Amino acid sequence: MPPAATGEHAEATIGARRTLSPARRAWRRFRQHHLALASAVILGVLVVASALAPVASKYDPDAASLEILAPPSPEHPLGTDDVGRDLLSRLLHAGRISLSVGFGAAVLTVAVGVLVGAAAGYYGGQVDALLSALVNVMLAIPILPLALVLSSFLQTNLTFVILIIGGLSWPAVARIIRAEFLSLREREFVEAARVVGAGSGRIIFIHILPNTLAPIIVAATLQVASAILLESALSFLGYGVQPPQASWGNMLQDAQRYLRTVPALAIYPGALISLTVISVNFLGDGLREALDPRLQV
Amino acid sequence: MNRYFIRRTLLAIPTLLVISVLLFGLLQLAPGGPAALYAGPDAGPEDLERISRLLGTDQPPPIQYIRWLGGVLRGDWGISFRYREPVVSVLAGRLPNTVQLMAAALVIALVLAVPFGVISAVSRWRVIQYLASVAAMLGVSIPTFWLGMMVLLVFSVKLRILPSGGIATIGLEYDPVDRLVHLIGPASVLATMYIAAWSRYVRSSLLEVLHQDYIRLARAKGLSEWAVLTRHALRNALLPLVTLVGLQGGSLVGGAMITEVVFAWPGMGRLLAEALASRDYPVLMAAFMTMAVLTVIGNLLADLAYGWVDPRIRLS
């Protein structure tokens, strides 16, 4: 994110507005989206808190104790779970897992989506026909059941969860990038690059790709949100992140049995998932308005 | 016009075939084998051999697939390992419940999303716009299963006004009121995401339409704001929603699945989760394909509906 614009008063004078760099103009628009700004702050807090989990909490998140289902107390600010593990410590450590899966899967989704979308959109013809057919078939498969089947038959460690989520989510991104490339490849600057002898790879990555950065950034943000949601659903059903490693989703799986007696076990992890996802979504909204005012929703 | 419809319908067939091949291949990767699962832990090697010959799993995978496909087309979907009865009858008991849940959620979502979207688009009060955008964002961000758990916690555990899951009270299976009361929780939870997503869509689509010249013309003619809104603006703004609703078939299927698990709703989704846990391959394969079919039908209906409401599409 670009640094805050300094010297606003100077920019407000007549004529100066035109000389603002695109990044600064984007930042100005982003700042006006108060919810997005607040979301960025909340996300920052969540990321820092999860990153500092080992320091912030004195309890081992996986260490069972005799104090089971304890109510909140000075020693255990949020109480303990059904095998006596400190809830706060577990929430923080689970945050690291859930956020890593979210970001990791989003990076993978966007990387594959951009490559496939760029190839289909740029080369067209048979390449496009083949890739588009693949995208359409994948979009026709209900993603949650397929992810469940995959992760129940393959290994279920963290890397595989990321691979499965990323491997199933990219078609939506590929579709967006393909559409961008289809229209951009007809533009004069691509023609010009071709005339001076640039190869396909150079045209795709150096000339066209930078022009699709706005939709890519927005799609990447929204993919973080949907990856976190998918991971939580998989883990909730028992096929995602495996215990004793905590993720917000699998904490909810255990919590289901104690809904009547200790609802706190169910409330906190879900509230954190919701807070994270809503912040990421608002951030995506703000970025969309800031980077690409045409795409206003 | 008919050719367009027929072509779109025929295109759905190869899609389903590819999905079934992919899934069949995937199940081959599973450790152990169906025969071992079917036979149980006490079976000796000869038993295993006999059972795998009986199930056809001693054949190479392509042959197995062709046999399976042939069986599916003849209405023979195999025998469930777990229930020891034909898969078709296991499915027949579950599918109507899922369809009922999805239909109820769709109706709730459409009935609420359109007015919410319109109100947030035409309201002059910033508070309402602000609340609408936060509520819509909440709706698409809260995980369905957690929302379900919270609904159970508040309405079933605390307030005791909704049942704690299931499709009917035991002994009252044919009481429509009882069934309806059981449907309220899961259907509302499943609908929430779509109320949010579609009301956002209606809002932006309506805002776009309201800037068109023909709306200015309608106002200039002296039509009331209500007439402008309902007869001119909404009619055009709602067209794309038809497609959106159909395209979300896949996510609706996934959402229904997880809602069923939370609310102990005896539908396809819960069946698939159970089949996965008990490695009941014939049921797993059938439940998954049924979900894929529901998704493809959704996409197909979206295409057809769009061609029907917007004649320009059919020409391309």
Q: pLDDT above 70 covers what percent of chain A?
A: 91
Residue recorded with tokens 């009922």: B100
Higher pLDDT, B224 or B52: B224
Residues 6+ apart with CB under 8 A from B271: B90, B91, B94, B283, B287
- Given a cut of 50, whether residue A9 has pLDDT beyond it is no
Cα gap A168→A36, rounded to integer Å: 28
Chain B environment of A232 (Cβ under 8 Å): 143, 145-146
Separation of CA B311 from chain center: 28
Q: What's residue B149's pLDDT? A: 94
Chain A nearest CA to B226, separation (Å): 24
Q: What's residue A296's pLDDT? A: 43
Q: Which of B26, B137, B152 sits opposite A149 (nearest CB)?
A: B26
CB spacing of A277 vs B141 below 8 angstroms: yes
- Given a cut of 70, whether residue A1 has pLDDT beyond it is no
CB spacing of B288 vs A256 below 8 angstroms: no
Nearest to B150 by CA among B189, B207, B111, B197: B189
- Which domains are seen in chain A, by residue range? 22-295 (1.10.3720.10)
Q: What residue of A is the nearest CA neighbor of B246? A: A140
Residues 6+ apart with CB under 8 A from A211: A180, A184
230-269 in chain A: CB under 8 A from chain B? 232-233, 236-239, 249, 252, 255-256, 259-260, 263, 266-267, 269
CB spacing of B276 vs A150 below 8 angstroms: no
- Given a cut of 70, whether residue A190 has pLDDT beyond it is yes
Q: Which of B19, B251, B269 sits opposite A137 (nearest CB)?
A: B19
Cα gap A181→B73, rounded to integer Å: 42
User: Average pLDDT of B56-85?
Assistant: 83
Q: What's residue A168's pLDDT? A: 93
Q: What's residue A277's pLDDT? A: 95
Chain A environment of B15 (Cβ under 8 Å): 136-137, 140
The pLDDT tens digits of the residues spanning A97-143 come to 999 999 999 999 999 999 999 999 999 889 999 999 899 888 878 88
Interface test with chain B among A33, A101, A141, A168, by most B beta carbons within 10 Å: A141
Q: Indicate the pLDDT class of residue B41, thresholds 50, 70 and 90.
A: low
Cα gap B248→B281, rounded to integer Å: 27
The pLDDT tens digits of the residues spanning A285-294 come to 888 888 875 5
User: Average pLDDT of B265-272?
Assistant: 91
Cα gap A166→A179, rounded to integer Å: 21
Q: What's residue A6's pLDDT? A: 45
- Given a cut of 60, whether residue A199 has pLDDT beyond it is yes
Q: What's residue A17's pLDDT? A: 52
- Given a cut of 50, whether residue A8 has pLDDT beyond it is no
Higher pLDDT, A9 or A41: A41
User: Average pLDDT of B216-238?
Assistant: 86
Chain A nearest CA to B96, separation (Å): 19
Whether the Cβ atoms of residue B190 and residue B101 lie closer than 8 Å to each other: yes
Chain A nearest CA to B20, separation (Å): 10
Q: Indicate the pLDDT class of residue B9, thresholds 50, 70 and 90.
A: confident
Q: What residue of B is the nearest CA neighbor of A272? A: B142
Whether the Cβ atoms of residue A224 and residue A102 lie closer than 8 Å to each other: yes
Classify the complex by whether its ipTM is higher than 0.95, answering yes or no.
no
Whether the Cβ atoms of residue B83 and residue B90 lie closer than 8 Å to each other: yes
Higher pLDDT, A176 or B303: A176
Q: What's residue B271's pLDDT? A: 92
Out of A11-15, B131-135, B239-243, B300-304, give the one with best mean pLDDT: B131-135
User: Average pLDDT of B153-162?
Assistant: 88
User: Average pLDDT of B143-161?
Assistant: 91
Cα gap A57→A85, rounded to integer Å: 12
Q: Indicate the pLDDT class of residue B172, thresholds 50, 70 and 90.
A: confident
Average predicted confidence (pLDDT) for chain B:
84
Chain A nearest CA to B217, separation (Å): 25
Chain B environment of A278 (Cβ under 8 Å): 137-138, 141-142
Chain B nearest CA to A119, separation (Å): 22
- Given a cut of 60, whether residue B314 has pLDDT beyond it is no
Chain A nearest CA to B250, separation (Å): 5
Average predicted confidence (pLDDT) for chain A:
85
> How buried is residue B286: exposed, middle or buried, by Cβ count under 10 Å (0-12/13-18/19+)?
buried
The pLDDT tens digits of the residues spanning B84-137 come to 889 899 999 899 999 999 999 999 999 999 999 998 888 878 888 888 888 989
- Given a cut of 70, whether residue B7 has pLDDT beyond it is yes
Q: What's residue B315's pLDDT? A: 52
Whether the Cβ atoms of residue B269 and residue B252 lie closer than 8 Å to each other: no
The pLDDT tens digits of the residues spanning A63-98 come to 777 777 777 877 777 788 777 788 888 899 999 999
Q: Rounded to 10 degrees, what is the CA torsion of B183, B188, B191, B195?
A: 150
Interface test with chain B among A232, A236, A247, A252, by most B beta carbons within 10 Å: A236
Q: Indicate the pLDDT class of residue B311, thresholds 50, 70 and 90.
A: low
Chain B nearest CA to A111, separation (Å): 23
Q: What's residue A164's pLDDT? A: 93
User: Average pLDDT of B139-154?
Assistant: 93
CATH of domain B96-309: 1.10.3720.10
What is the CB neighbour count within 10 angstroms for residue B111?
11
Domain ranges of chain B: 2-73, 96-309
Q: What's residue A68's pLDDT? A: 74
Interface test with chain A among B141, B293, B297, by most A beta carbons within 10 Å: B141
Q: What's residue B32's pLDDT? A: 60
For A84, A235, B35, B142, B162, the CA distances from A87, given in Å and listed in that order, are 9, 18, 43, 21, 29
Q: Which of A252, A259, A278 sits opposite B153 (nearest CB)?
A: A259
User: Average pLDDT of B217-226?
Assistant: 88
